[in-house]
Every structure is written in C-alpha cells, then in structure tokens.
Amino acid sequence: MMIPEHLQHLIHSDQPLAPLVWLGIGGPAHFFAEPVDIEQFTQVVTWAAENQLSTRVLGSGSNLLVRESGFDGLVVSLSAAATSGFQINGDTLVAGAGAKLSHAVVKAVGGGLGGLEHLVGIPGTVGAAVVGNVSSGGRDIGSVVRCVRVLQPDGTIREFQQDEVGFTHRKTALAGTTIIEAEFKLESVDAAALTKRLQKLWIARNSEHPTRMERIAMPFVDPDSLSARELIQNVGLAGLREGDVSLDSSQPHYLIAHEGATSDQCLRLIGRVREQVLLQTGIDLQLNLQIW
Ligand SMILES: Cc1cc2nc3c(=O)[nH]c(=O)nc-3n(C[C@H](O)[C@H](O)[C@H](O)COP(=O)(O)OP(=O)(O)OC[C@H]3O[C@@H](n4cnc5c(N)ncnc54)[C@H](O)[C@@H]3O)c2cc1C
C-alpha cells in the first residue's frame, strides 16, 4: 500500500521496533508515525482506519514483546511534546497520554496532590498505565482516574468517566483504543509530608530492582492478593534460562533478554514458567506483557 503524498512527511515504512522497546527484540512496523499534535494523530489514525490497517499505540515500550516478523499495520508513537503535557486544576491533574508516569507522580507530589505516589518507579507512559490499570502495593491507577479521553478512528474524541472505563485487576475495557489524555482526581495534602512519603516509597521500590535495568520485562500479572515473584521463587524457577533469555536470579518475576535473545525464546520461557507454576500450585499465571 502506498502512503498518500500529503501524509508522506508523517508516516514512514518499515521502521525497526527493536530499538524502541525495552527488550530490544523484534522486527519492523510496516507503517510508523510519530504525530506531533492531535490533528496529525487524527490524520494518521483515520488513514489507517480507511485502509483497514490495524493500529497500535506505542508508549515507552516497557511492556511489549515484538515478534521478529514485526507488526503488519500502523504503529503510532506518542512521544511528542503535544501529547505529553500536564495541567493542574484544583485537585485534578490532567496528563497527556504520552507523558511519563514518573513525571505525573512528581508533578502531582510537587503540587501537593496525593494519590499517585504509590506508582513511583513503574516505567512507561500515562496512557499505557491507564489502559493496563497498573498497580503497586495493592493499589491501582484506576482508583484515582476521573475520566479518560480516547481518539476514535473517525477522528472524534470520546470521554469515558471512571465507571465506564471498566477497571479490573490490571485490565480495562479500553484495550485496543487510543487514549490521548487522562484526568486524575487527587487529594490536597501537605506537600512536604507527601515528598517524604514519595522518598520512602522510592527507596522501597529501588530495593526490589532486578540485577539489571536494561532489556528486561515483567511478564506476569500478580494473581489476586498473591505475588508472581514469590510463586516463581517458591517453585524454584529463579534464574531459569531458555537460550539467551532468563529469569532474574534475585527478582525472578523479571525476564532478561541477553545478547542474541529472540521473541520465540521469550515465549518458550514464559510457557515453561506458566506450566511449572500451574503444575506445582494450581495457579495459572496471566500475561502482563503485550505481544505484537
Ligand atoms: C522494570 C519494570 C517494572 C515494572 N513494574 C510494574 C509495576 O510495578 N506495576 C505494573 O502494573 N506494571 C509494571 N511494569 C509493566 C509496565 O511498566 C507497564 O505495563 C506500563 O504501563 C507500560 O507502559 P509503556 O508506556 O512502556 O507501554 P508500552 O509497552 O509501550 O505499551 C504497552 C501496551 O499499552 C498500549 N498503549 C500504550 N499507550 C497507549 C495509549 N495511549 N492508548 C491505548 N493503549 C496504549 C500499547 O498498545 C500496548 O498494548 C513494569 C515493567 C518493567 C520493565
């Protein structure tokens, strides 16, 4: 399919995805765009819809496993400044979907607004955090979302209130959509006390880091009130290796891609872990990692 002339400055063909995802694995996106504003975003998404192309949104790539065959559709990256801004209105933080979640946490805490600080240290963008209902310490992001704005394939924007988003354990009903903005209803608190709390949470979070912080992923969702890390550890799978992919030896809920790793090796390792955990505990670990 040819890219029409008026979109050629926006859409590229055969963009390698491996450098854009944390695991550093995978083939190209057939079409790739990095729109700088919502108007451009609308143009590319509408073009894809008119041409029956599948579209995927790329955040920071910290929760993606891309197969070597790549993605045969349009990948839209949300890294431009126009989709990454913040605004504080009273006790509400409005964040662009492309903004880093860590920046949202710092912005809220700096403004004396509590409610997001427990998410400190989770990599990725606000849009991905909302669509995947990220959580830490048993609290998810959905509990502080006021509303979410989604760009529809016809270029219109639809607003979903919190109770329409379908927040459940590490899931929402918005998977497959394009979130462009989220509003968080936070609580005005003493900024100094909140900053101290953030520092404590940050130290606790850092103590749980795997041995390395590049080319890693967290493949599994913690099953309700249980920890994937403990389950995998108790089953004796820490450090398990499949080709050039392994589980971290001290934090085995993290998968590490070594030099030469492939998506098939990752999938085989994930399959072995699920099988062993199911066999020994009866618990079927669900995937957090999105596979393209
Ligand atoms: C070291 C490490 C620690 C982690 N810790 C946690 C943790 O404590 N808790 C937790 O819940 N997760 C955790 N994760 C998982 C990961 O950080 C989250 O899933 C995060 O939300 C992914 O953000 P991203 O921008 O990198 O998304 P990507 O990897 O780019 O995309 C992930 C999915 O979100 C979709 N998406 C991205 N942006 C949008 C958008 N604007 N609209 C609609 N869909 C979109 C993508 O299409 C894809 O399906 C961790 C991962 C790592 C590597």
Q: Residue 133 CA: which ligand 1 atom is closest?
A: 11
**What CATH number has the domain bearing residue 17?**
3.30.43.10
- Residue 211 resides in a domain: no
Same domain, 141 and 73: no
Cα 198 to Cα 114: distance, rounded to the nearest angstrom: 10
Q: Please give the distance, rounded to the nearest whole angstrom, from the Cα atom of residue 147 to the centre of ligand 1.
A: 19
For ligand 1, mutation pick of 57, 152, 179 (most atoms within 8 Å of CB): 57
pLDDT of residue 1: 80
User: Which domain range does residue 52 map to?
Assistant: 5-81
Same domain, 139 and 119: yes
For ligand 1, mutation pick of 41, 63, 71 (most atoms within 8 Å of CB): 63
Does the CB atom of residue 62 touch ligand 1 within 6 A?
Answer: yes
Does the CB atom of residue 61 touch ligand 1 within 6 A?
Answer: yes
Same domain, 50 and 37: yes
* Residue at a domain's end among 161, 176, 206: 206
- Residue 47 resides in a domain: yes
**What CATH number has the domain bearing residue 152?**
3.30.465.10
Active site residue 170: yes
Per-residue pLDDT in tens (0 to 9) along the chain, 292 residues: 889 999 999 999 999 999 999 999 999 999 999 998 888 988 999 999 999 999 999 999 999 999 999 999 999 998 776 788 999 999 999 999 999 999 999 999 999 999 999 999 999 999 999 999 999 988 999 999 999 999 988 889 999 999 999 999 999 999 999 999 999 999 999 989 999 999 999 998 888 878 777 899 999 999 988 999 999 999 999 999 999 999 999 999 999 999 999 999 999 999 999 999 999 999 999 999 999 9
- Residue 183 resides in a domain: yes
Nearest CA to ligand 1 atom 21: 129
Q: 143-163 burial, b if ≥16 CB within 10 A, otherwise e?
A: ebbebbbbbeeeeeeeebebe
Choose, from 67, 170, 197, 272, the residue flagged as catalytic. 170
Same domain, 158 and 90: yes
Q: Please give the distance, rounded to the nearest whole angstrom, from the Cα atom of residue 4 to the centre of ligand 1.
A: 32
Q: Is the separation of the CB atoms in 46 and 38 below 8 Å?
A: no
Same domain, 89 and 195: yes
Number of structural domains (the chain) is: 3
* Residue at a domain's end among 171, 206, 241: 206
